[in-house]
A and B are shown apart, each in its own frame.
Chain A
């Protein structure tokens, strides 16, 4: 059985065996947008500032390019 990537409740018994897979697909489709939308994680929108913070904190940078026409 597929594990639940976000550690949420297990599906109730009686669901189709495909239900976990469908949930996983849903999670995948939701996960990336939610990654960007979650306000509890601060995202720089200025690349230079991000580099500065990375240098100060010795952390790597996770840089997202997103098309928002």
Chain B
């Protein structure tokens, strides 16, 4: 029987006051800060609005890659323990961030409140970004590429067990992380759930070169300084309802240095091979790229300090709706073509 009443989950939930928020109108966005492209997100807190932990988070593969009944029960147990400690005065009080309510975001007021539309979670995030774009404060690698994927660091979790590492590859392996380790802190901030880990990982300055992860290994804390790989912040934006993301309707892979040299291209450039073309590209008259095309310049630019593909260069450096000129090699022949980016419109 799935009824929580008869389960451990039910017993745990009964020890909490439960609340569900489906409209964001009155929510303090600063206190309840989370990636609004999650359709489901939980906070465990107390009556003083001290947040013990978050439960939620996702990756580009699925909205529930990290949602799991067993890990939820674990989080509920840990939340009760933290509550006991708080009541005993054994937990330090966190400083409350300066409140921010949806009515303080002018574009959101104009486009939702004034039209009596629902203030949806993802709309808040999108209008915040549009507002930043208008104010010249839009930092794409931070605001567009939200919630980096821990798999970019090589961290693969045993999801039902919360933050227990199933497999450590790449940067994680190089830092000494091992299967069976339980992640307990990220940059010295305690983390209890994947939601905590992803939230604090997202807060890392995108120019950072290193993070510190603490793990519990056999009951002993172990500090693991971890070197961040290039573009550690990159995530697939495909699932996001974001109008600030220039839609390009193709994907590409970076060329290796030897491939660029062979083609006579700048070896430090972002020349890349088109690996996928969205079928809507010709319908929208976005571009005429084909799989296998090499794109080696965008509006004359061939290299970038961050982007390693033409696709990423456009997403980072061009505004949604802009048309750009591509330099392309197709079957050995060089040519130029236009690419029109699009701005997504989603229930606005």
A16 to chain B, nearest CB (A): 20
A60 touches B40 (CB 8 A): no
Q: Mark A45-58, 1 if CB is under 8 A from B, else 0.
A: 11101111111011
* Residue in B3, B21, B52 whose beta carbon sits within 8 Å of that of A64 in the complex: B21
Is B209 located at the chain interface by the 8 A CB criterion? Answer: no
Docked complex Cα distance between A58 and B7 (Å): 23
Check: B260 CB closer than 8 A to any chain A CB: no
Q: Count the A residues whose beta carbon is within 8 Å of the partner chain — how many?
A: 42
Q: For B2, B24, B38, which residue has the most chain A Cβ atoms within 10 angstroms?
A: B2
Q: Is the CB of A69 within 8 A of B347?
A: yes
In the bound complex, CA of A65 to CA of B36 (Å): 10
Please encode chain A, from 24 to 49, with 1 for each CB lying within 8 Å of some chain B CB and 0 for all others.
00011111101110101111111101
Q: Which chain A residues border B21 with CB–CB below 8 Å?
A: 45, 47, 63-66
Tell me whether A62 is interfacial, beta carbon within 8 Å: yes
Contact B69 A5 (CB under 8 A): yes
Asked if B68 and A54 make an inter-chain contact with CB atoms under 8 angstroms apart, the answer reads no
Q: Is the CB of B64 within 8 A of A64?
A: no
Could you tell me which A residues sit within 8 Å of B by CB distance? 5-8, 27-32, 34-36, 38, 40-47, 49-55, 57-69
B-chain residues with CB within 8 Å of residue A36 when the two chains form the complex = 20
Tell me which residues across on chain A come within 8 A of B79, comparing CB atoms.
60, 62
Interface residues of B in 325-348 (CB under 8 A from A): 347
What 5 A-B pairs have minimum CB-CB distances, sorted nearest first?
A50-B19, A55-B47, A62-B16, A54-B47, A44-B19
Docked-complex contact B40 and A65, CB < 8 angstroms:
yes
Closest A residue to B71 by beta carbon equals A28
Asked whether, in the complex, the Cβ of B18 is within 8 Å of the Cβ of A41, the reply is yes
Q: Decide if B16 touches A61 in the complex (CB within 8 Å).
A: yes
Q: Is the CB of B64 within 8 A of A63?
A: no
On chain B, the number of residues with a Cβ less than 8 Å from chain A's Cβ atoms is 54
Any A CB within 8 A of the CB of B221: no
Q: Is B18 touching A62 in the complex (CB atoms < 8 A)?
A: yes
* Distance A64 CA – B27 CA, assembled complex (angstroms): 12
Least CB separation from B46: chain A residue: A60
Residues of B within 8 A of A (CB): 1-10, 13-22, 24, 26-27, 32, 34, 38-47, 49, 52, 64, 67-70, 72-73, 76, 79-80, 83, 87, 118, 120-122, 347
The verdict on A67 contacting B122 (CB below 8 Å), with A7-B7, A51-B49, A61-B47 known, is yes
Q: Specify which of B47, B52, B118 lies most central, judged by the most chain A CB atoms within 10 Å of its CB.
A: B47
Q: Which residues of A contact B347 (CB under 8 A)?
A: 69
Q: Are B46 and A64 in contact (CB under 8 A)?
A: no
Could you say which of B44, B67, B118 contacts A62, with CB atoms under 8 Å apart? B44
Q: List 9 A-B contacts (CB under 8 A).
A: A30-B2, A32-B64, A40-B3, A41-B5, A44-B18, A45-B19, A54-B46, A64-B20, A65-B27
Known: A62-B44, A63-B45, A69-B120. A57 touches B2 (CB 8 A): no
Asked whether, in the complex, the Cβ of A65 is within 8 Å of the Cβ of B18, the reply is no
Inter-chain contact A62/B13, CB cutoff 8 Å: yes
How distant is the Cα of A67 from the Cα of B63 in the complex, in angstroms? 12
- Supposing A40-B3, A65-B41, A66-B20 touch, asked if A29 and B76 sit within 8 A by C-beta, the answer is no
Residues of A within 8 A of B16 (CB): 59-62
